[in-house]
């Protein structure tokens, strides 16, 4: 049998990372961890505890409340996917809104938040056999991962994908708003001081601008098999 490895998938938002990572984990019978959902869960906490006023976050208050935040994942029988829970409440739907997307990059720059989530992610991947997607998995969380992939696509393609997703859920958004959010998150994620979004030296680049989901999956699977040898 192939050896169990750690697979780190990083990249820009809305590049198809989580879809590809989930599919790969399912195929390999590995655990899948969506680390973006964890930063989104903290953002949802900040919003629901009124720590955000006029789009300004009270970072110190959030830091003081970090011990009140417990994030867990639990399999959803209907979708066969893992939903994210905040203090026991399923918030899978609530974390995918534009309101959360607009605040999450500001949450992700806080070192105390990152330290808490990174420690939990490292614990979840301790036994290998994991596909983890995020921004800093290959650089910070698992710098020794056997396979590192960095996914990207043009901002226009990514905004269009996210726009279709949000519209399907019934959210009232314009393509322009979504493109603005994509570009703004790229800027903040790539320029933050703590764990900026960068391609690890040993990561394979996957540009999905003109690739179908099937093509992305095939390539990832091929890379995963090579890495297991
Ligand atoms: O993958 P996503 O779009 O759901 O991630 C939401 C935000 O969380 C993203 O803008 C940056 C942040 N993030 C991070 O800083 N580090 C991670 N490992 C995952 C996400």
Residue 19 makes CB contacts below 8 A (sequence gap 6+) with 213
Please check whether residue 13 lies inside any domain of the structure. Answer: yes
The pLDDT tens digits for 136-153 are: 999 999 999 999 999 999
The rounded percent of the chain whose pLDDT value lies above 70 is 100
Please check whether residue 107 lies inside any domain of the structure. Answer: yes
Cα 127 to ligand 1 centre (Å): 23
Give how far the C-alpha of residue 84 lies from the chain's centroid of Cα atoms, to the nearest Å: 12
Answering whether pTM is above 0.85, one says: yes
User: Whole-angstrom Cα distance, residue 12 to residue 189?
Assistant: 9
Among 7, 21, 35, residue to substitute to test ligand 1 (most atoms within 8 Å of Cβ): 35
At 208 the pLDDT is 95
Please check whether residue 63 lies inside any domain of the structure. Answer: yes
Q: Whose CA is nearest to atom 9 of ligand 1?
A: 105
Q: Provide the CB-side half-sphere exposure for 146 (13 A, CA).
A: 18
Classify 54 as helix, strand or coil.
Answer: coil
Number of domains the chain is built from: 1
The pLDDT tens digits for 146-184 are: 999 999 999 999 999 999 999 998 999 999 999 999 999
Please check whether residue 1 lies inside any domain of the structure. Answer: no
Place of tokens 């279709």: 164
Domain interval for residue 134: 6-228
The pLDDT tens digits for 35-88 are: 999 999 999 999 999 999 988 899 999 999 999 999 999 999 998 889 999 999
The rounded percent of the chain whose pLDDT value lies above 90 is 91
Residues with beta carbon inside 6 Å of ligand 1?
Answer: 13, 35-36, 39-40, 104-105, 108, 134-137, 185, 189
Please check whether residue 30 lies inside any domain of the structure. Answer: yes
CATH number at residue 72: 3.40.50.300
Please check whether residue 196 lies inside any domain of the structure. Answer: yes
Please check whether residue 17 lies inside any domain of the structure. Answer: yes
């Amino acid at each position: 049998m192939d050896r169990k490895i750690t697979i780190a998938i990083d990249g820009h938002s809305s590049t198809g990372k989580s879809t590809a990572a989930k599919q790969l984990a399912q195929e390999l019978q590995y655990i899948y961890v969506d680390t973006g959902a964890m930063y989104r869960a903290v953002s949802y906490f900040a919003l629901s505890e009124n720590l955000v006023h006029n789009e300004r976050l009270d970072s110190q208050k959030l830091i003081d409340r970090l011990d009140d935040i417990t994030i867990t994942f639990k399999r959803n029988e209907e979708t066969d996917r893992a939903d994210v829970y905040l203090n026991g409440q399923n918030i899978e739907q609530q974390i995918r809104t534009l309101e959360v997307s607009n605040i999450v990059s500001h949450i992700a720059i806080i070192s105390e938040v990152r330290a808490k989530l990174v420690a939990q992610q490292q614990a979840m991947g301790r036994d290998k056999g994991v596909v983890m997607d995020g921004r800093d998995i290959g650089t910070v969380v698992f710098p020794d991962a056997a396979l590192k992939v960095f996914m990207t696509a043009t901002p226009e393609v990514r905004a269009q994908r996210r726009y279709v997703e949000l519209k399907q859920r019934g959210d009232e958004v314009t393509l322009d708003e979504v493109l603005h959010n994509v570009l703004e998150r790229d800027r903040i994620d790539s320029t933050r001081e703590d764990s900026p979004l960068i391609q690890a030296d040993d990561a394979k680049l996957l540009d999905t601008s003109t690739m179908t989901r099937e093509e992305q999956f095939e390539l990832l699977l091929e890379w995963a098999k090579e890495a297991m040898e």
